[in-house]
Chains A and B, each alone.
Chain A
Amino acid sequence: MTMEHLEPGQKALVSEIHIRDAGELYRLYTLGLEPGVEFTIYQKSPAFVLDIGETTLALGRETASKIGVILLKKTK
């Protein structure tokens, strides 16, 4: 399951990141998106928006589709 399959309002855990490009991976990591991190997703369109702790991140669908996740619980 990837981030693309989540619904707004759901909480999930990053399980793996299928990105090869070291530069892109580095950006994700430094912004706090790394395996083991918990996040809440708020919207999927026009871009994905999620909260990791106190940080809000926006990312495109192509990145979201490369992030493997484990669903934690449904809040809605």
Chain B
Amino acid sequence: MYQLKESIRTVHVALVGNPNVGKSVIFGHMTGEYVTVSNYPGTTVEISEGASQWGGTQFKFADTPGVFSIFPRSEDERACRDHLLDHRPDVLLQVADAKNLRRALMLTLELAELGLPMVLALNMADESRARGILIDTESLSKTLGIPVVLTAAPRGEGIQDLKEALSSARVPIVRTDLEKETAKAIETISALIPEAAGNLSSAPAAFIAETLLHGDESIWNSFRSGRADLQKNAIEAASQISRSFARPPSLSALDSRLQLSGEITADVMETAENHSSGFLRAFGRAAMRPWPGYLIAGLALALLYAVVGYFAAQILVDFLKGFVFDAWIIPAAIRLADAAIPSAFLREMLVGPYGIITMAVPYAFALILPIVTFFFLMFGFLEDSGYLPRLAVMLDRVFRLAGLNGKAIIPVILGLGCNTMAVLTTRILETKRERLIATLILSLSIPCSAQLGTILGMMASLSWKAFVLWFLTVAGSSMLVGWGASKFLPGSRSPFLMEIPPLRVPLWGNTFKKLRSRIAWYLREAAPLFLAGTLLLFFADKTGLLAKAREFASPLVVGFLGLPAMATDSMILGFLRRDYGAAGFFDMSRNGTLSASQAVVALIVITLFMPCIAQFLVTIKERGVKVAVAIAFFILAFSVGLGGFINWVLKTGVIRL
């Protein structure tokens, strides 16, 4: 009977740890599921779950965003803490960077306050070894009272040991002696906790008391069944006691943990002086200095352009669209449809001017897919190399103008891949104000890879002056709008402070896995919308609504923007996805329907146009309906208004393209 019970046991494991230590890689090894892995802090912003089974036990894993502390200072830290309280995992698997033992132990000491069984994985053991760091895991395990395992996750080193260690997880025996005054304060507040909390199954009273003393009231959200009035009392008591302190109690607790973690580290770690400053190290440093840093950034961009803007958007698209589709698949499909489908309506739905095979499929697979694929390939390479945080250093000053700091480069550059993912990543920014400005800039002026690729493809047939005009208008708009928002929104810019991970040669295995998952995601996300957009146009055309829409929009599209009436179609598509709208313009410019100045105006409008539906939904989720709707209306007015202005400037003949 006992054995039967054992065989159906489910163990819930939560992975926690500092940012960028490899939690997601270990999660992947444990569950066989892939989650995005990169070399910069903040890749995981949502909690992923996965299951696996070995040794007769069912395991469920949760991968959490990286944190410095479980006394939260940011949204992702709060998300992690709430997960631990609300789900009360059976095992806490802390993943740590072996090169940064002390910081990891700081977190271990905090996690120990939760009273949960733990296992510590010292990851990146290969890198720490290479730097001459030796850690006595046995002695560390004794001091902490939990299993400690060395791993080098991307190589799969230590993973088997880690799996075995999960069954011998223990509640840590290590405890931090807090300063007398702080300890007393926690004791006093703890006395108020049990009644207020209702039940204490998710966290010990002392942990809740310390959290309140740190000034974080949101912990009560995990105790909804408790008594609200007593919870409020406890908050007040904590803030009163905290005010009587000369130095915030949160800092005093931090001091004590820093000291203890420093002592433990000194006991178990030895560093052989190691000054081998390899090429990567030197290059990693050079990439952050003005010289040759800006040159390196320029070369990186040029390489990105060569691969995505030239090879994918021109050579590959010409081949796929011009040769495979236009010369071969589409004529064949039309012949086949003419012969096999008697209904004219159905025939047109498939192969008419707004047909699924003539429009949706080539747009999705011949125009956009090659571009997205090569962008994500290059971008994944950049992510895994650890270059992006260096770019943040180089561009900190630029972002200051828009009320942000260099850290904002990460959501922005991810936005060049996909704005929907990027809006989620704004969580790594420290203040609400910065997250809002970043969301606004992403929604307004950061073209996603699909859009960017089609834009670059169109640029190829225009002059360099057209490109400069487009670039300056778009970049200028982001700066202007960011600057305006930073003046308008209360609060100040948070200081730039960022850890720079070591530069690494990307492992192709990871880069390709990430590419595959992103393409699959893109197809799932975008293809149905392409289909929906085409059907929308088809029915609008059939019912005469499209002609009416063109007529209705004519003063705006033809008069104000100076575009052909057909451009209305692309703008309708743009409401669904900006890249689909851009693909429409790309097609028109390949046909020679657009003049150079028309192409520039069209590009500016569609670059700045409405965020796509998926991005809009994520914005609602992250920032609320009001903000999302306000952003959408502002952007619609701004993009069309600016397009009209550029049209007017071009007509005056001041600038000749």
One of B389-397, B541-549, B629-637 at the interface: B389-397
Instruction: With both chains docked as a complex, state the minimum distance between the C-beta of B133 and any C-beta of chain A, in angstroms.
Output: 7
B500 engages A56 (CB within 8 Å): yes
Residues of A within 8 A of B392 (CB): 58
Residues 17-33 of A contacting B (Cβ, < 8 Å): 22-32
Residues of A within 8 A of B314 (CB): none
What per-residue 1/0 map shows which CB atoms of B225-257 lie under 8 Å from chain A? Answer: 000000000000000000000001011001000
Contact of A59 among B215, B495, B501 (CB under 8 A): B495
Contact of B500 among A22, A26, A57, A63 (CB under 8 A): A57
B496 engages A58 (CB within 8 Å): yes
B497 engages A63 (CB within 8 Å): yes
Number of interface residues, chain A, beta carbon within 8 A? 28
Known interface pairs A26-B73, A63-B496; A58-B68 also in contact (CB < 8 Å):
no
Counting chain B residues whose Cβ lies within 8 A of the other chain, the interface size class is 35 or more
Contact of A47 among B69, B248, B396 (CB under 8 A): B396
User: Can you list 17 A-B contacts (CB < 8 A)?
Assistant: A22-B215, A24-B497, A27-B73, A32-B102, A34-B258, A43-B285, A45-B290, A46-B293, A47-B288, A47-B406, A47-B496, A49-B288, A49-B500, A54-B131, A54-B133, A58-B500, A59-B498
A55 engages B394 (CB within 8 Å): no
Residues of A within 8 A of B222 (CB): none
- Give Cα distance in the complex from A5 to B496, angstroms: 18
Instruction: With both chains docked as a complex, state the minimum distance between the C-beta of B101 and any C-beta of chain A, in angstroms.
Output: 9
Known interface pairs A54-B99, A58-B392; A46-B290 also in contact (CB < 8 Å):
yes
- Give Cα distance in the complex from A55 to B68, angstroms: 14
What per-residue 1/0 map shows which CB atoms of A38-76 lie under 8 Å from chain B? Answer: 000011011101000111111110110000000000000
Closest to B394 in A: A46
Instruction: With both chains docked as a complex, state the minimum distance between the C-beta of A34 and any C-beta of chain B, in angstroms.
Output: 6
Known interface pairs A26-B250, A47-B406; A56-B499 also in contact (CB < 8 Å):
yes
Contact of A57 among B250, B258, B495, B497 (CB under 8 A): B497
Known interface pairs A54-B99, A54-B131; A46-B498 also in contact (CB < 8 Å):
no
Residues of A within 8 A of B288 (CB): 42-43, 47, 49, 58
Contact of B495 among A29, A45, A62 (CB under 8 A): A62
Residues of B within 8 A of A62 (CB): 495
A55 engages B498 (CB within 8 Å): no
Q: Which of B99, B254, B396, B495 is the most central at the interface, judged by chain A CB atoms within 10 Å of its CB?
A: B495
Closest to B494 in A: A24
Q: Is B106 an interface residue (CB 8 A)?
A: yes
Known interface pairs A22-B250, A27-B68, A63-B496; A55-B100 also in contact (CB < 8 Å):
yes
Instruction: With both chains docked as a complex, state the minimum distance between the C-beta of A62 and any C-beta of chain B, in angstroms.
Output: 6
Instruction: With both chains docked as a complex, state the minimum distance between the C-beta of A8 and any C-beta of chain B, in angstroms.
Output: 9
- Give Cα distance in the complex from A34 to B106, angstroms: 14
Residues 55-70 of B contacting A (Cβ, < 8 Å): 68-69
Closest 6 CB pairs of A and B: A60-B496, A30-B68, A56-B500, A54-B99, A22-B248, A63-B495
Instruction: With both chains docked as a complex, state the minimum distance between the C-beta of B297 and any C-beta of chain A, in angstroms.
Output: 11
Residues of A within 8 A of B502 (CB): 56
- Give Cα distance in the complex from A23 to B251, angstroms: 9
- Give Cα distance in the complex from A57 to B498, angstroms: 6
B389 engages A58 (CB within 8 Å): yes
Q: Is B568 an interface residue (CB 8 A)?
A: no
Contact of A25 among B68, B251, B496 (CB under 8 A): B251
Other contacts beyond A31-B103, A56-B501, A62-B495: 20, CB < 8 A: A23-B430, A25-B251, A26-B69, A26-B251, A29-B251, A30-B254, A31-B68, A31-B499, A32-B100, A42-B288, A43-B285, A45-B289, A45-B290, A47-B396, A54-B128, A55-B499, A58-B392, A58-B396, A58-B496, A60-B495
